[in-house]
Amino acid sequence: MKSMNPSIKRRISALILSTTLTFGAISGPSPRAEAGVIVAAASSLYVTIPALAIAGMLGGFGTAVGSIYYAIDHRDKAWWAYAFFMLDAELQSGNLQQNIEQRYPGIDSTVAAEIAKMVTEKAKETAFNEKGLKEIMLSEAELAPVIELLAETDPALGQKLSNELTRATLVK
């Protein structure tokens, strides 16, 4: 009898083994960490990156380690991204321009970039307070070109910026 093609044979074995192990991991009363390891072993035989990501989700792997960090940092969303490889955009922590754009929806990117630049420049001359933050306050003169522009294009936003940025603002 002609023997089976080795690659098909390997694939079928992997499929049977991984299906068995996957069901075992899901249906059995095993602790999370254990289940994670079993599923990771099973899936790595058949598919690599996506399955390992799923293993993190299913098992204790992520729960035990990664998520502890994210929980502390209030960044549990990042844990999701790590486990699933999703096209979910996250604000980069410390990206001032993005934070400004998030805080003032509808602001033009170049206006936000200009404010970020002003804040960054000013921050260089400012010392950290006891909480490790810097208190930045922009003057009306510094903000004048931005406010003048917004007076023509979006007066309400201009007023809001003028009110908020000429008062103390905390940055890291």
Partner 1 sequence: MGAMAFGSTPDPEAFCRDYLALRQKQSHSRPTPDQTLKLLFHPRSLIRARQWDRPVPLLSPRDADKTARKVAYVMLKAPEWDDSVVRAVRETQQRIRRLPIVQDLARIETLNACRSVIKQDSFGYARMSDYLDQFKNAEPHLEAKRQWELRALVEKKLAAFARKGWEIRFPRTYFEFMSELERERDIREAMLISHADADGKLYDASGNAVPKGFLLNLPVNLGKLILFSCHSEAVLNHYEAIQASSTLDIHYPELRDRLQNLYQTSIPVVALRGMLVSAEAGITTRSEPDRACKLDVVLPEVSGRYEILLQNRLIGILDRAREKSIPFDCSLLGSGKLIFKLHHAEGESRPPPRVSEMRLTTPGSGMVPLRVKEFVSSDGTRHIQTIGTTGGHP
CB of 88 to partner 1, least distance (A): 5
- 86 belongs to the binding site for partner 1 (CB under 8 A): yes
Residue 169 pairs in a beta bridge with 136
- 4 belongs to the binding site for partner 1 (CB under 8 A): no
- 76 belongs to the binding site for partner 1 (CB under 8 A): yes
Return the number of the residue (9 or 85) whose C-beta is nearest partner 1. 85
Q: CA triplet 76, 77, 83: central angle to 5 degrees?
A: 95
Distance of alpha carbon 51 from alpha carbon 152, whole angstroms = 53
Distance of alpha carbon 84 from alpha carbon 90, whole angstroms = 14
- 169 belongs to the binding site for partner 1 (CB under 8 A): yes
Segment 27 to 46, residues that bind partner 1, using CB under 8 A: 27, 31-33, 39, 43, 46
CB of 22 to partner 1, least distance (A): 6
Q: Kindly report the number of other CB atoms within 10 A of residue 30's CB atom.
A: 16
CB of 12 to partner 1, least distance (A): 13
Segment 110 to 149, residues that bind partner 1, using CB under 8 A: 110-111, 113-114, 117-118, 131-133, 141-142, 144-146, 148-149
Three-state DSSP at 171 gives strand
Residue of 68, 36, 35 whose CA lies nearest to 52: 36
Q: CA triplet 64, 86, 67: central angle to 5 degrees?
A: 15
Return the number of the residue (6 or 130) whose C-beta is nearest partner 1. 130
Return the number of the residue (3 or 63) whose C-beta is nearest partner 1. 63
# residues contacting partner 1 (CB under 8 A): 80
For the CA atoms of 39, 42, 44, 48, the dihedral, rounded to the nearest 10 degrees, stands at: -60
- 13 belongs to the binding site for partner 1 (CB under 8 A): no
